[in-house]
Structures are given as structure tokens and as C-alpha cells.
């Protein structure tokens, strides 16, 4: 007779219906769909409606679009945004590519140091970088001007940060490390034989760099350019701190103005946001198209590449000097100016007299602020909370997308990656509209910030999870299941541990970007739910430059310590890059 009784047979299908797998998967799909789609729907809705007030309910209107597209101001906005983004993306790409080529292909001394240096700016919050550069290059208080004026005994303004060029400069050098990372990854994945065979053909180093290396890196460079362009279009700190005071407006600063002006016009803000969203969507769409196209250039042979460096002779000292100059501009000067002003009671130009007045007063004063303690605690909670939630969510989403044959899983993938096209300010606005309309008491609490952070950084989590999931062979899971493990056990005991290095790397990355986050938080915070970047923002608005610098210096040091600890931990878990 058979070993299974009819009663047992009857139970089998029942068991598979109540497989906890479906509960977990269903919940995750629902969460992702809610996070990614619902706020967006509300944003669109709001752009077609008048703001609801206590007396008047929202009514349908095309007035917002008429106002936005009917005015010459929008044309100016378009022009400003495009020029600004184009300029800073080109600057970042040129710098980043040059640095990547020097690092990957030449025998310039001090390269290991430079790799470490290149990651530092990613850690420094954007608002600190921008304020530091204002202190450096403002026509009135900028140190560069004051020093040069003293040297040449003139009152000529040498550099003026409050211009479109100034904005491009600050944004461009700030994003150069990202361009550097993207381009050096692309240079590293290039088969060295492609360049070696050009050498064997008798080509000179410059001919190879120009005719082979750069051409091969062109698809990667175009994709990087689009990423940088979108980053600049959606960047908030630079336009808000440098552009707004002198009336150079771009889309992000217009959204902020519409909401914070009097009277606040949420419908107009939503319309600007939809327009901005359209621009970034087109950018990201072309970028993904390019990346797919770029795969025909993929010349990976699976053989371990022996990286080949070229002897550039005396040029290597020029390259080394270029490193140093870049390091000074991006890390050295900004940090030193913050350090200097943090040691002053009142903001003043470095001089012999000012040196006599060095004190730690600002540090003491900033720590007395009641909001500082709350903000640090909030940032800590939000960063660790969102990083943990995102890594868990994204690992399950990745599993569904890569391992199952569930129809429509590509939709899930797209949904989870969609917030990538949403500028922080747009996301903040969408989330705000959504929970103001839905109620539920979330608005004004720390939970709305958590929701925004999880939505905003989910695509990063997806990227880390996908990369590490692709490296795990399916058979490892299948053999666990053949051994009799249930889906939950397999996921918990086999998949998650194998994903661990990737998950930890992703977690660290999300913690860092969460602490830097400003553009979503600025629309969502209320008294009591400030985060560190908001405190910096408020200090700047109040003109408390010395306290801002003190807080900034402490924050940079803390983040730096965190990165070093994270690096040590990652090394233990075998993670190569953070």
C-alpha cells in the first residue's frame, strides 16, 4: 500500500494555500505599491485642484497649469534649470572622468590615498558643502575675495558665488566624486586587452586614450551624464541657498517658494513638481535605455583582468598636482572654513587678530540648543529605521523579481525603483499632500518622515539587493528546499545570510544618505521632528554661521567615524565597496 493515507493527501493542497510565503509576499507587494504609487496619485490630483481650506473644499481647476505654462517666468525657469544642470553635469563628468582615467590607467603616485579621498565628499551633507562655499566665495564675506583684495589692495570682486556659474561650480565639484565612481567602475570593467592590442598596433598613449578608452567609455559616460543631469535638476541645497537670495530660480527652488511664500499655494507647487517629474523621468528613461544599449559594448570575458597602468612620465606629477588641487577644493577648503568659523564667536575673516579670539564658544552654544539633541536622535532613528526596513523590503522584492515566475513581477521591480525619478522635494510634497488629504494623524509626526525616507531610498536598496542576489545561485535555495526546509526557513537561513554582505553595504549607504537628507524633510518636519540637516538649514536662515559651522564640524567628524567603523565591519564581512 502507499505510505500516505487519504486523509493526509486531502490536507496537502490545504497546506499550500496557507503557505506563509504568500502572506509575506502579498504584504511586501502591497507596501511597495502603496509607498510608490499613492503619493504620486495625490500629487497629480492636487495639481488639478485648488488648495482645500477650512472654508472651501478643493475644486477642479486648470488654473495651476495655465499659470505655470502661460507665464514667461516658466520659460526663464526652464532656461535656468537646463543651463544649471547642463553646466554642473558637464563639469562633474569632465572632472570625474579625468580623475578616473588618471586613477585607473596611469602610474600617478598616491592613488590609494585618492580612492579613499574620493569617497569623503559623499559623506559630507550637501547643505554644509554649499554653506562652506558661500563662506569661501561670497562677494561680501567670501574669504577668497577678501584675501585676494588684501593682496592686490583693491576692492574688486574676484569670485561671485551668487551667479548661475557659481551654482554650477558648487554643484559640479560636489557631484564629481559620483562621476568618478561611475567612470572608474566602467574603466575597470574594460578588458585591458582592448587597449593592449592598440599598443601592439603601435598607437601612442594619447592615441589610445582618445581613440580607444574614451570611445569605449562613451556609453557609460552618457549614462553617467544623464544621472548627473537629473541629480542637478533635482538638487535643492544649491538653488535654495545660492540661487534664491539673488533671484536665480530653478524648478526646485520654485516649488519651495510656492509652498513657503505667502499665501502658500500647494496646487501651484504640485504643478511645478509634476513638470519637474516629467523632466527627470525622461532623463532616467534615456539613461536606462543607454545602459541597455551599452551591454553590446560589454566585453567581459570572465577572465580576471590584470589592470595595466601606463607610464606617463613627468606628466604624473601634473596628475598628482591635479589630485591635490581637487582634494583642496572639495574637502580641504570647505572643511577648513567651517573649522575656522566654528572657532569664532562672531563670523570673521581669518586674520591675526581673529586668531586671538579663537574659542570653543560656538560648540557650547550649539549644544545648548534644545532642537539639536532631538534632531540628532531623530536622524539616528530615521537613518537606522529606514535602512533596516528598506533592506528587508528590497531583499524580498528582489527575490520575487529574480526567483519567481509570478506574472507582473517586472511591474513590482519598476515600482520599487520608481522613486529614483522623484526629486526629494517632489517626493516630500507628494507625501505631504497624500497624508494631509488622507488624515490618519501621521502628518506632523516622525512617521511621515520615515515613510518618505523609505520611499525615497528604496531604489538604492533595490540596487544593492539585486547585485548580491544575482550572485547567489538558485541551486543553493533549491537544495535547501529539497532538504525539507519551508520557504520561510529557506529565506531566513539560506538567502538572507548569503545576501548579508550586500545587505550590510546597502544598509550603511542608506544610513549615510538618510543623515544627509534635506529636500524631503524640509516639507515634512514640524517642531519636535527636526533632523540634523533641518537644524543646519535653520541655523543658516538665522544667520548663526558660527554655530552652524560648529555643528557641521561635529557632524562631519561623527559621519567620518561612522564610515571608518563601517569600513572595518564591511571588511570582516567581505564587502569590497561601501
Partner 1 sequence: MLSVRSLNTEYKTKSGPAVRAAQDVAFEVPPGKFFTLLGPSGCGKTTTLRSIAGLERPTSGEIEVGGRLVYSSSKNVFVPLNRRNFGMVFQSYAIWPHMSVYQNAAFPLEVRKRGLSPAQIKDKVATVLKAVALDHLTDREATKLSGGQQQRLALARALVMEPELLLLDEPLSNLDAKLRERMRFELKRIQRELGVTTIYVTHDQAEALALSHEIAVMNEGRIVQIGSPRAIYDRPYSRFVAEFIGNSNFIDGTVLGAENGTSHWRIRGAMGDLVAISDTPLKAGQNVTLSIRPENVELADDAFSGGGTLNLFSGKVDQRIFLGDYADFQIRLGNILMMSRAHPALRASVDETIHMRMSPDSCVVLHEGGTAATKPYTAD
Contact residues for partner 1 (CB under 8 A)? 191, 193-194, 196-204, 207, 211-212, 215-216, 218, 296-297, 299, 301, 303, 308
DSSP state of 305: P
- In terms of CB distance, is 216 or 550 closer to partner 1? 216
User: CB of residue 291 vs partner 1: minimum separation in angstroms?
Assistant: 15
Q: DSSP 3-state assignment of 571?
A: helix
Specify whether the CB–CB gap between 40 and 430 falls below 8 A.
yes
Specify whether the CB–CB gap between 242 and 134 falls below 8 A.
yes
User: CB of residue 215 vs partner 1: minimum separation in angstroms?
Assistant: 5
- In terms of CB distance, is 204 or 264 closer to partner 1? 204
Specify whether the CB–CB gap between 28 and 397 falls below 8 A.
yes
- In terms of CB distance, is 296 or 474 closer to partner 1? 296
User: CB of residue 98 vs partner 1: minimum separation in angstroms?
Assistant: 20
**What share of residues in the chain are helix, strand, coil (percent, to 5)?**
75, 0, 25
Q: What is the DSSP string of 50-65?
A: PPP-SSS---B-SHHH
User: CB of residue 571 vs partner 1: minimum separation in angstroms?
Assistant: 15
Q: Say what the alpha-carbon torsion angle 195, 196, 199, 204 is, to the nearest 10 degrees.
A: 40
- In terms of CB distance, is 196 or 478 closer to partner 1? 196
Specify whether the CB–CB gap between 265 and 255 falls below 8 A.
no
CA 500, CA 228: separation in Å to the nearest integer?
30
Residues forming a β-bridge with 49: 60
User: CB of residue 94 vs partner 1: minimum separation in angstroms?
Assistant: 20
CA 341, CA 477: separation in Å to the nearest integer?
57
User: CB of residue 97 vs partner 1: minimum separation in angstroms?
Assistant: 16
- In terms of CB distance, is 154 or 292 closer to partner 1? 292
What's the chain's length in residues? 578
- In terms of CB distance, is 44 or 315 closer to partner 1? 315
User: CB of residue 175 vs partner 1: minimum separation in angstroms?
Assistant: 26
User: CB of residue 216 vs partner 1: minimum separation in angstroms?
Assistant: 6
Q: Which residues of 369-393 are buried (b: 16+ CB within 10 A; e: fewer)?
A: bebbebbbebbeebbebbbebbbbb
- In terms of CB distance, is 194 or 367 closer to partner 1? 194
C-alpha cell at 150: 588684501
DSSP state of 445: S
- In terms of CB distance, is 105 or 516 closer to partner 1? 105
Amino acid at each position: 500500500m502507499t505510505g500516505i493515507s487519504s486523509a493526509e493527501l486531502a490536507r496537502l493542497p490545504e497546506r499550500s494555500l496557507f503557505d506563509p510565503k504568500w502572506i509575506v509576499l502579498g504584504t511586501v507587494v502591497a507596501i511597495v505599491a502603496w509607498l510608490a504609487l499613492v503619493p504620486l496619485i495625490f500629487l497629480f490630483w492636487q495639481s488639478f485642484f485648488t488648495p482645500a481650506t477650512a472654508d472651501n473644499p478643493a475644486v477642479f481647476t486648470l488654473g495651476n497649469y495655465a499659470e505655470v505654462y502661460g507665464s514667461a517666468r516658466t520659460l526663464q525657469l526652464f532656461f535656468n534649470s537646463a543651463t544649471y544642470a547642463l553646466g554642473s553635469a558637464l563639469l562633474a563628468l569632465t572632472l570625474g572622468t579625468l580623475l578616473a582615467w588618471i586613477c585607473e590607467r596611469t602610474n600617478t603616485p598616491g592613488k590609494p590615498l585618492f580612492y579613499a579621498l574620493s569617497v569623503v565628499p559623499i559623506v559630507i551633507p550637501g547643505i554644509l558643502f554649499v554653506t562652506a562655499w558661500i563662506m569661501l566665495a561670497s562677494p561680501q564675506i567670501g574669504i577668497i575675495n577678501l584675501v585676494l583684495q588684501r593682496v592686490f589692495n583693491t576692492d574688486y570682486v574676484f569670485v561671485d558665488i551668487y551667479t548661475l556659474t557659481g551654482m554650477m561650480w558648487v554643484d559640479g565639484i560636489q557631484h564629481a566624486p559620483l562621476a568618478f565612481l561611475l567612470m572608474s567602475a566602467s574603466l575597470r570593467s574594460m578588458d585591458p586587452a582592448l587597449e593592449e592590442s592598440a599598443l601592439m598596433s603601435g598607437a601612442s598613449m594619447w592615441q589610445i586614450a582618445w581613440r580607444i578608452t574614451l570611445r569605449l567609455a562613451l556609453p557609460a559616460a552618457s549614462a553617467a551624464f544623464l544621472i548627473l543631469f537629473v541629480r542637478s535638476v533635482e538638487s535643492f541645497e544649491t538653488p535654495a541657498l545660492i540661487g534664491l537670495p539673488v533671484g536665480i530660480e530653478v524648478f526646485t527652488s520654485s516649488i519651495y517658494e510656492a509652498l513657503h511664500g505667502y499665501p502658500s499655494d500647494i496646487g501651484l507647487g504640485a504643478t511645478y513638481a509634476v513638470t519637474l517629474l516629467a523632466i527627470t523621468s525622461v532623463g532616467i528613461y534615456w539613461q536606462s535605455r543607454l545602459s541597455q544599449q551599452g551591454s553590446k559594448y560589454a566585453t567581459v570575458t570572465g577572465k580576471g583582468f590584470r589592470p595595466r597602468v601606463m607610464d606617463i612620465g613627468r606628466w604624473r606629477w601634473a596628475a598628482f598636482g591635479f589630485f591635490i588641487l581637487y582634494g583642496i577644493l572639495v574637502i580641504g577648503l570647505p572643511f577648513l572654513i567651517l573649522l575656522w568659523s566654528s572657532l569664532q564667536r562672531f563670523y570673521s575673516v581669518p586674520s591675526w587678530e581673529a586668531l586671538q579670539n579663537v574659542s570653543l564658544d560656538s560648540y557650547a552654544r550649539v549644544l545648548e540648543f534644545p532642537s539639536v539633541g532631538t534632531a540628532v536622535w531623530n536622524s539616528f532613528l530615521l537613518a537606522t529605521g529606514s535602512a533596516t526596513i528598506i533592506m528587508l523590503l528590497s531583499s524580498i522584492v528582489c527575490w520575487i523579481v529574480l526567483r519567481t515566475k509570478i506574472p507582473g513581477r517586472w511591474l513590482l521591480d519598476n515600482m520599487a525603483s520608481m522613486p529614483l525619478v522623484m526629486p526629494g522635494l517632489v517626493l516630500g510634497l507628494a507625501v505631504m499632500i497624500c497624508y494631509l488629504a488622507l488624515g490618519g494623524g501621521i502628518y506632523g509626526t516622525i512617521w511621515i518622515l520615515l515613510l518618505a525616507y523609505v520611499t525615497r531610498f528604496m531604489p538604492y536598496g533595490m540596487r544593492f539587493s539585486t547585485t548580491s542576489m544575482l550572485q547567489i545561485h538558485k541551486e543553493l535555495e533549491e537544495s535547501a528546499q529539497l532538504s525539507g526546509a519551508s520557504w520561510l526557513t529557506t529565506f531566513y537561513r539560506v538567502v538572507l545570510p548569503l545576501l548579508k554582505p550586500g545587505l550590510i553595504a546597502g544598509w550603511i549607504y542608506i544610513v549615510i544618505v538618510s543623515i544627509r537628507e534635506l529636500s524631503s524633510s524640509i516639507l515634512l518636519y514640524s517642531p519636535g521632528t527636526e533632523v540634523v540637516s533641518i537644524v543646519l538649514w535653520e541655523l543658516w536662515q538665522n544667520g548663526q554661521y558660527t554655530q552652524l559651522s560648529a555643528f557641521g564640524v561635529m557632524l562631519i567628524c561623527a559621519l567620518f567615524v561612522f564610515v571608518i567603523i563601517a569600513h572595518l565591519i564591511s571588511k570582516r564581512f567581505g564587502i569590497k565597496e561601501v
